[in-house]
Amino acid sequence: MADRFHSTQGLIDALTDASFDCPPALVSNAHVTGLGVARALDAHDVPVIALDRPANGGSASGSKDASRPDGGAEAATVSVTHDGLAPPSDAVDFAGAVTYPLDDLDGFREDVEAIVDAAGREAVAFGCMDEWALAYAEADPDGVRLPYAGIETVDDVLNKSQLYATCEELGVPYPETHRLGGNGGEGSVDDADLEAAADALGFPLVVKPARKREFEEAFGTNVIEVADEAEFRDTVAAAAAAGVEVMAQKRVDIATGEDRSLASYVPPSGVDDALAVVGNAAVRYPRQFGTSCLVETVADPEIEARALGVLDDAGYHGISEAEFVYDREREEYLLLDVNTRPWKWISLPVAAGANLPMAAYAAVTDAEYESTGIEPARWVYLRDYLAALSGGEVGDLLGGDDWRALVSGKFEAGRSLTTGIYRPSDPAPTAKLFETEFDDREYYCSC
């Protein structure tokens, strides 16, 4: 377990005295998704260094540790506030702050290179949110191995404008979408495009970004539903002012609880050798545009084929999640998104027998990994699932045996049920969640 969340220099100092028998994994961010990746790698004895930005816009340089004598050799800046749940996990060996790449990509590169140099050997990067995955690929720090495709390929898949163009070519259904001109960061809005989109889609409609993370930074969400023309114009104008490319999308009549996502690792050899599991987000919280809190494996060869076809056409290799929803009006599944990195319920495929992080790590190191076979499994994020139950949004989909297994901790001995945070064998992340849940600070990312 990492004993503290270091400043950048504090982490460098701590790593100078460490030694690693195999390349450490750099896992960013250091919250729910990063925790899932760290646990997946730790199960195969891969050392993990969790990297993230500090809380509340703090500095990665931290503040001096008052317990150390001034002027002493250990009086370096070592203390940084961080609310993510991964660092206290037994699966994380070291944790610390780096410059946030959306603020300063060169600073991020310099920090990572200094950390890898201090570790004394090359490292493998796992970006667990779009900005981190893109940053590792774009910055290309010396000494860092990427277990996924390069920046041009990743950007093409993450950018919904390009993704939907690929869907059009391959005949993969996707929501009716209008790309909006004049909003690529120049601060202008094309009235003709707005009018055409409104006429074709009607209201309410959905405004979505071409690239999600910049939109989330500007608006605090990754999708905005607008009720009328005034809201539409205001939202697009605000996106233009923030330099974020957006598109207008028809509001899909989604069949609740029928989502499908292909969780996969595609090796450099191609999709024929992919390790893949289809998951159904049976419960989201909040119900409409929330994130998954109960996901279960399902058999759906058609979804798998469509998703792998898109990845193959893009030439992408690495971990990804391809998200589909069922449109009740069109009576078919529509591809919404492809996330070219781990995501919130990454622990589900791991429990089912497809340890995607370990497969990716093995592909760029001397380690070996082979799946022992895929079995049915479910993943639950108890914090949000209990909130959904208490709010009456859903009925309980878990049974008495499931709850007894969760409370007793016996679920950890099997493969049929796993969790996002809560694990009695690794209690510190859950304890930290309790500590921060009722604080007035809000962690910058739910995943």
pLDDT in tens, 18-38: 999 999 999 999 999 999 999
Q: Extract the tokens encoding 380.
A: 């639950």
**Cα 258 to the chain's mean position, in Å?**
21
Q: What whole-number distance in Å separates Cα of residue 313 and Cα of residue 231? A: 37
Cβ contact 300:290 at 8 Å: no
Return the pLDDT at 441.
Answer: 66
In 138-238, beta strands by DSSP E: 144-145, 177-179, 205-209, 224-226
Q: Where are the alpha helices (DSSP H) in 174-331?
A: 191-201, 212-219, 229-241, 301-314
**Best CA proximity match to 145, nearest among 304, 350, 308, 360:** 360
Phi, psi of 81 (to 5 degrees): -80, 135
Point out which residues pair with 57 in neighbouring strands.
Answer: none
pLDDT-based confidence at 73, cuts 50/70/90?
very low
Which tens digit of pLDDT belongs to each residue from 94-130? Answer: 999 999 999 999 999 999 999 999 999 999 999 999 8
Nearest CA to 299 out of 281, 280, 282 is that of 280
How far, in Å, CA of 25 to CA of 125, rounded?
6
Over the stretch 255-278, which tens digit does the pLDDT of each residue have?
A: 999 999 999 999 999 999 999 999
Q: Which CATH superfamily is domain 176-250 in?
A: ATP-grasp fold, A domain (3.30.1490.20)
Instruction: Give dist(CA 392, CA 285) in Å, integer.
Output: 11
Cα-based distances in Å from 405 to 382, 400, 418: 13, 9, 10
> Mean of the pLDDT values across residues 324-348?
96
Q: Print burial letters for 190-203: b (CB count within 10 Å at least 16), e (below 16).
A: eeebbeebbeebee
Out of 37-46, 131-140, 204-213, pick the least confident.
204-213
Work out the mean pLDDT of the chain and round it to a whole number: 91
Decide if pLDDT at 305 tops 90. Answer: yes
- Neighbour tally for 74: CB within 10 Å: 11
The CATH code of domain 8-148 reads: 3.40.50
Describe the crossing of helices 212-219 and 229-241 by its angle, rounded to 10 degrees. 110
> Whole-angstrom Cα distance, residue 295 to residue 382?
12
pLDDT 10s digits, 126-144:
999 989 999 999 999 999 9
Give the residue extent of every domain in the chain.
8-148, 176-250, 260-340+345-380+382-419
C-alpha distances in angstroms, 377 versus 38, 287, 291, 336, 381? 20, 22, 19, 24, 14
Confidence class for position 190, pLDDT limits 50, 70, 90: confident
Single pTM value for the model: 0.91
pLDDT of 63 reads: 54
- Structural domain 260-340+345-380+382-419, CATH architecture: 2-Layer Sandwich (3.30)
DSSP 3-state of 50: strand
Q: What is the mean pLDDT of residues 283-307?
A: 93
CB 52 within 8 A of CB 98: yes
pLDDT of 74? 46
> Of 438, 437, 431, 389, which is closest to residue 287 (Cα–Cα)?
389
Q: Quick one: how many helices (H) and strands (E) in the chain?
A: 15, 18
**Terminal-residue alpha carbon distance, the chain:** 21
The neighbouring-strand residues paired with 146 are none
Q: How far is CA 232 from CA 195, 351, 390, 391, in A?
A: 10, 43, 34, 30
The alpha carbon dihedral of 373, 346, 302, 317 has a sign of negative
